[in-house]
Amino acid sequence: MTKLWGGRFAGQTNALVHRYQSSIGFDIRLYGEDITGSVAWARGLADAGLLSANERDTLLGGLEAVRAEFAGGAFVVAPEDEDIHSAVERRLTELVGPVGGKLHTGRSRNDQVATDFRLWVMRACDQLAEAVAETQRALTDSATTAVELPLPGYTHLQHAQPVTWGHWALSHFWPLERDRARLAAVRRTAAVLPLGAAALAGTAFAIDRVALAARLGFEAITPNSLDAVSDRDFAAEFLFATALLGVHLSRLSEQLILFSSAEFGFVRLDDAYSTGSSIMPQKKNPDTLELTRGKSGRLIGHLTGFLATLKGLPSAYDKDLQEDKEPVFDAADTLALALPVMAGLLRTMALRPERMAAQLEGGLLATELADHLVRRGLPFREAHHLAGRVVRHAEERGVPLTALSAAELAAISPQFGPDTTEVLTVPAALAARSVPGGTAATAVRAQLAEARRLVGQSDEQDGQ
Ligand code: ARG
């Protein structure tokens, strides 16, 4: 078989080596970017006087014919096609004849692959950001249906203070909002054109790189040709953005796995988003959530693995860089499923307010006791200590704080006063936290309005 680079070789490549170094198995999905890049390059060559208008049009027609073959599923990969770049050029030359051999003038696969991959990552950032926004909308809609619904808030997974469902749901919205910002930043990192760097030293032809960048939708051109062909920061940043997004989805998953257990029972997952057990008839398993939690490990692995690949590389292109694509593709594919699955699960799960209410009886109001004494002028440390004694007293009696009488409280400290029982309620605890970002209904509604605006939703809030 004939290689692009076969001229200086007398012998054939070992068959296993050919398989080992081929990337067509996975980089075939870059065909659109590869052809778009070549179309722009052919125009650039013509503008620089290196192709006649006729030759340019022949190449452009041929490239579009190859694109149509890929799009229609008619493209046949030949044994010598080691990657998408050689495959496109081989087929182009078959279709248009020897003029196809002019396309690679002043260009290398090194700047070509960097260009293709950047274009792909730019599009992937846009698509992922939209999928993230859809999951965020599922969270804002969940928050909207139960803004003021109280449930226990936890720290250390122990009862802490009451919060509202709106507040809880939005606590998972904001990490995703930052993920979207990160994806937009990765897109900007990627939107720098390497084409014109050629193999490493810069192309020897008078190509207008700035015009090329504009034609391809890049925002800038790379300032150094050696850096241009070795830089994969955009891929590493993409892997970080996706790993952290995965971590955020994993944390949400973990919380919903707990909330859907018999012990919590705060939510009930829809049948469409859970699975059963082959042996235990009562089981309804949160497999989707467990998979998302599990897959976050794989996303982290892609990032650390790829950073390890990069760390030993000297200047310019090394074949190690071919290892950039599979982790990036897999991260994008993983999240392209995980995000809509999460959105659907959130939209279909049922809330169980009665189960949440049953858990609000315990010690969650102890902070209210301390805050009450602070409002009466006691130093917080002293107030905290007295409230702690009330908690111990309630525990010794085996009753919730709210069951203690005013006399019992006064016996611990006269400072508690007869109005203490008024602050010892869930609504009072929630209402007190009206600081911006707090869990009071007014604050959560303001937060919700801002969240809905950020993901393009109207400000209509049903409440309940
Ligand atoms: N398939 C290669 C890759 O993905 C394309 C660049 C090859 N360049 C080279 N000099 N062998 O990295």
pLDDT in tens, 381-411: 999 999 999 999 999 999 988 899 989 999 9
- Output the residue whose Cα is nearest ligand 1's atom 2: 322
Alpha carbon distance 216, 25 (integer Å): 25
Give the range among 10-19, 94-103, 347-356 with minimum mean pLDDT: 10-19
Residue 277 appears among annotated catalytic residues: yes
**For residue 331, what are its two tokens?**
């991260």
Tell me which of 85, 156, 384, 405 is the catalytic residue: 156
**Average pLDDT along the chain:** 95
**For residue 441, what are its two tokens?**
């209904």
Alpha carbon distance 304, 318 (integer Å): 19
- Output the residue whose Cα is nearest ligand 1's atom 12: 322
Amino acid identity, position 440: A
Query: Would the CB of 23 count as within 6 Å of ligand 1?
Result: yes
- Is it the case that residue 281 has pLDDT exceeding 90? no
In terms of pLDDT, which residue wins out, 277 or 59? 59
**For residue 107, what are its two tokens?**
């260009």
Alpha carbon distance 11, 135 (integer Å): 55
What number is the average pLDDT over the span 63-76? 98
- Strand 192-193 versus strand 220-221 pairing type: parallel
Question: Ligand 1: distance of its center to the CA of 109 in Å?
Answer: 6
Burial environment of residue 147 by CB neighbours within 10 A (0 to 12, 13 to 18, 19 or more): buried
Q: State the pLDDT confidence band at 11, using cuts at 50, 70 and 90.
A: confident
Cβ(332)–Cβ(242) below 8 Å: yes
- Positive or negative, the CA dihedral 268, 271, 273, 278 is positive
What number is the average pLDDT over the span 351-368? 91
What number is the average pLDDT over the span 148-161? 96
Go through 176-191 and write b for each residue having 16 or more CB atoms within 10 A of its CB, e for each that does not: bbebbebbeebbebbb
Q: How many helices (H) and strands (E) does the chain have?
A: 20, 6
Model pLDDT for residues 159-194, shown as the tens digit of each residue: 999 999 999 999 999 999 999 999 999 999 999 999
- Is it the case that residue 81 has pLDDT exceeding 60? yes
pLDDT for residue 1: 63
What number is the average pLDDT over the span 308-321? 96
- Is it the case that residue 277 has pLDDT exceeding 80? no
Give the residue ranges of DSSP H helices in 318-405: 325-348, 353-358, 366-375, 380-397
Whole-structure pTM value: 0.95
CB-facing half-sphere around the CA of 301: CA atoms within 13 A: 8
Percentage of the chain surpassing pLDDT 70?
Answer: 98
Which of 9, 13, 19, 23 is the best mutation target for the ligand 1 pocket, counting ligand atoms within 8 Å of the beta carbon and taking the most? 23
Model pLDDT for residues 115-130, shown as the tens digit of each residue: 999 999 999 999 999 9
